[in-house]
Chain A
Amino acid sequence: METLRFEFSALTPAKGVRKTALVGVVASGNLEVLLEREGAPDRCTIEINTSAHGFRPLWEAVMADFTSRRTAGGLRISINDGGARPDTVSLRLAQGVRLIEEPQA
């Protein structure tokens, strides 16, 4: 396992009031994303536990794109990765920030 940590400035704070949101599953080629409302509204911190080694630059690029495109401010995001492709990671993150906007189920 490799653990990666990133902190980005985020253009837009997360919407809604919900404290946490969980999307995806830990499975081969998939990932689980936990979003928690925590920290400054213009920052986003991300911790990734991944089974695939040596992809730090790619993760950094995916996360930079995410925090610049989506409403990711004031979030602490924890990822358990099962070797997901970048397109799956981007989709899960987009789903996560959408879900945390929603009223608690």
Chain B
Amino acid sequence: MKQWDLRGKARQARIADGMAHAAGKIVAADKLVAFLEAVILSGDRVCLEGDNQKQADLLARALAQVDPAKIHDLHMIQSGVVLPEHLDLFDKGVARRLDFSYSGPQSARIARMLFGGKIELGAIHTYLELFARYFIDLTPQVALIAAVSADRDGNLYTGPNTEDTPTVVEATSFGNGLVIAQVGEIVDRVPRVDIPGDRVHFVVDAGKPFYVEPLFTRDPAAITETQILTAMLAIKGLYQPYGVRRLNHGIGFNTAAIELLLPTYAERLGLKGKICTHWALNPHPTLIPAIEAGWVEQIHCFGSEVGMDDYLRARSDIFFTGSDGSLRSNRAFSQTAGLYACDLFIGSTLEIDLKGHSSTITPDRIAGFGGAPNMGSDARGRRHPSAPWLQAGQEADPDTPAPLRRGRKLVVQIGETFGEANAPLFVEKLSALELAEKLSLPLAPIMVYADDTTHIITEEGIANLLLCRDKDEHEQAIRGVAGFTEVGRQRDKKMVERLRERKVIQRPEDLGIDPLDANRSLLAARSIKDLMLASGGLYRPPSRFRNW
């Protein structure tokens, strides 16, 4: 007789082994390493919750301490590789293979370890893509997750930073895997049930909150006048003519500048209620002045942001909140919302090539992707119309009859022509291609593909790639906004002028943008303190941003 419940039985055996180190579902923090050695097997697929923001830091430290003679060759599948321990696992020989999405602060070390052969790379995924694989061919045998609190039955409260947890638990727990949660405290009754206890097998009391990275805080004091100019271009040259109401902003100072110009510059243009009303967005502190001025109707969040929790609780008309009053975020749902229900994505990158591919890989840093690839791509499964989507579709393909013409998501790259340390934004060949050659990857890690990119905004102007009719026009439209980079200086000036006549390229002066307006006095908040004051004291900036 073939047995059809071997995986469930294997999980039961792991639970029995774990019980020897636990009291009920509760594992003591000082027994955690021995506990993990009992329940994890060599070769397991392990999701160590490393999200974009919150980190299961206690579990990461404990896993990095297990004996590699007992546990080795783990296959780590996690969206964020953020903590040093995430890579210590590979240095120590506990883990061998890695599938991930984002590596932010570990980007330099992960590059060295990949080049040194310490890590066997599966792939660098977009978020939704990695989540999807959790349910198909990368279902974790063990998930090590993070929550705010738990009761003794294992019901979890994830608080405002729910992020990836429901997705990870869904795949692991219903896929015969083991779910182990670290929590800040054990309570009699959790404030709300984000994860039902029957999906959670063990809980460890970390005695303090999990680590959260304040990724989405941009200090208005650091916004330059050039960035303000690019923000004016975005508002007047793109948000206004397309009437963009549903959108996502990436992180960066250019998009922070747009947020801070809504109550000033965009208000002056009469755009309130006509643009930027519905968002898939992390709770950016720089959006506070626009929210307070009544610009925003609704925001769904991927995660929370350090210091924003009280503000979000007090603005429940705008944000999704739970029965306890605090924010409920969810990365998988918000990414899906950004992909299917937003008409525009705008973000920054480090390199753009002549075709319009963009990447954040540099020769010595592999940062992976954030939310950009999913939200910065045209949703081929979309079927509902909206004015900006239809207009973009019409510009790209004027000849197809309207009822049979797909619309287009507006996918915008915004930045200055020279970035940090005078690195040019525009390049002949992406570093991502060199990386792919060096590591023999079948795919270069492209963040946003050229055929998804509809506009590029720099201080020199806006290039509307939808209006380009052939490869030459496309390349010259990019060169035409590439400023004084080598790519920009090698433009065909006559062709660029013709593109300008057709409004494929629009300069600030073509849009009636006064350079004297590119001034910091145009920002609705000029410092973190201004943001705190705008929130009525509800926003509590983390100490590293308090410079007063």
Q: A: which residues have CB within 8 A of B?
A: 58, 61-62, 65, 69, 85-88, 90-91, 94-95, 98-99, 102
In the assembly, what is the distance between CA of A88 and CA of B419, in Å?
12
Given contacts A61-B484, A61-B489, A62-B484, contact A87 B516 (CB under 8 A): no
**Please, could you name 17 A-B residue pairs with CB atoms under 8 Å apart, sorted by A?**
A62-B484, A85-B416, A85-B418, A85-B422, A86-B418, A86-B484, A87-B226, A87-B418, A87-B484, A88-B224, A88-B226, A90-B459, A90-B483, A91-B225, A91-B515, A91-B518, A98-B514
**B515: nearest chain-A partner, CB-CB:** A94
Interface centre among A69, A85, A99 (most CB of B within 10 A): A85
**B489: nearest chain-A partner, CB-CB:** A61
**B508: nearest chain-A partner, CB-CB:** A94
Cβ contacts under 8 Å, A69 to chain B: 507, 509
Cβ contacts under 8 Å, B508 to chain A: 94
Given contacts A58-B484, A61-B484, A61-B489, contact A87 B515 (CB under 8 A): no
For residue A29, give the distance in angstroms from its CB to the closest CB of chain B.
9
Additional pairs, 15, CB under 8 Å, beyond known A62-B484, A85-B422, A95-B515: A61-B489, A86-B417, A86-B418, A87-B417, A87-B418, A87-B458, A87-B460, A88-B224, A90-B460, A91-B226, A91-B229, A91-B518, A94-B515, A95-B518, A98-B515
Q: Which 7 A-B pairs have the closest CB atoms?
A: A94-B515, A86-B484, A87-B459, A85-B418, A95-B515, A98-B516, A87-B226
Interface of A is mostly: helix
How many A-B residue pairs lie within 8 Å, measured between CB atoms? 45
In the assembly, what is the distance between CA of A94 and CA of B459, in Å?
12
B516, A99: Cβ atoms under 8 Å? yes
For residue A30, give the distance in angstroms from its CB to the closest CB of chain B.
9
**A68: nearest chain-B partner, CB-CB:** B493
Cβ contacts under 8 Å, B422 to chain A: 85
Cβ contacts under 8 Å, A85 to chain B: 416, 418, 422
For residue B506, give the distance in angstroms from its CB to the closest CB of chain A.
14
Query: Considering the complex, which residues of chain B in the window 150-191 have a beta carbon less than 8 Å from any beta carbon of chain A?
Result: none
Q: B: which residues have CB within 8 A of A?
A: 224-226, 229, 416-418, 422, 458-460, 483-484, 489, 507-509, 514-516, 518
Cβ contacts under 8 Å, B515 to chain A: 91, 94-95, 98
Interface centre among B458, B483, B484, B514 (most CB of A within 10 A): B484
Cβ contacts under 8 Å, B514 to chain A: 98
Cβ contacts under 8 Å, B417 to chain A: 86-87
For residue A101, give the distance in angstroms from its CB to the closest CB of chain B.
9
A87, B483: Cβ atoms under 8 Å? yes
In the assembly, what is the distance between CA of A58 and CA of B484, in Å?
7
For residue B484, give the distance in angstroms from its CB to the closest CB of chain A.
4
In the assembly, what is the distance between CA of A61 and CA of B488, in Å?
11
In the assembly, what is the distance between CA of A47 and CA of B460, in Å?
24
In the assembly, what is the distance between CA of A98 and CA of B226, in Å?
16
In the assembly, what is the distance between CA of A62 and CA of B483, in Å?
9
Cβ contacts under 8 Å, B516 to chain A: 95, 98-99, 102
For residue B459, give the distance in angstroms from its CB to the closest CB of chain A.
5
In the assembly, what is the distance between CA of A94 and CA of B517, in Å?
11
For residue B465, give the distance in angstroms from its CB to the closest CB of chain A.
21
**A23: nearest chain-B partner, CB-CB:** B516
Cβ contacts under 8 Å, A102 to chain B: 516
For residue B261, give the distance in angstroms from its CB to the closest CB of chain A.
16
Interface centre among B416, B417, B515 (most CB of A within 10 A): B515
In the assembly, what is the distance between CA of A99 and CA of B518, in Å?
12
In the assembly, what is the distance between CA of A95 and CA of B518, in Å?
8
In the assembly, what is the distance between CA of A99 and CA of B514, in Å?
10
**A89: nearest chain-B partner, CB-CB:** B484
**A88: nearest chain-B partner, CB-CB:** B226
In the assembly, what is the distance between CA of A98 and CA of B516, in Å?
7
Contact of B459 among A58, A61, A91 (CB under 8 A): A91
In the assembly, what is the distance between CA of A104 and CA of B489, in Å?
37
In the assembly, what is the distance between CA of A70 and CA of B460, in Å?
13
In the assembly, what is the distance between CA of A94 and CA of B513, in Å?
11
Cβ contacts under 8 Å, B458 to chain A: 87
Cβ contacts under 8 Å, B229 to chain A: 91
For residue B233, give the distance in angstroms from its CB to the closest CB of chain A.
12
In the assembly, what is the distance between CA of A87 and CA of B229, in Å?
10
For residue A94, give the distance in angstroms from its CB to the closest CB of chain B.
4
Interface centre among B417, B483, B507 (most CB of A within 10 A): B483
Cβ contacts under 8 Å, B518 to chain A: 91, 95
In the assembly, what is the distance between CA of A95 and CA of B514, in Å?
8
For residue B268, give the distance in angstroms from its CB to the closest CB of chain A.
17
Interface centre among A58, A88, A99, A102 (most CB of B within 10 A): A88
In the assembly, what is the distance between CA of A85 and CA of B225, in Å?
12
For residue B201, give the distance in angstroms from its CB to the closest CB of chain A.
54
In the assembly, what is the distance between CA of A65 and CA of B518, in Å?
19
**B415: nearest chain-A partner, CB-CB:** A87
For residue A55, give the distance in angstroms from its CB to the closest CB of chain B.
10
Cβ contacts under 8 Å, A99 to chain B: 516
Contact of A87 among B416, B489, B509 (CB under 8 A): B416
**B516: nearest chain-A partner, CB-CB:** A98
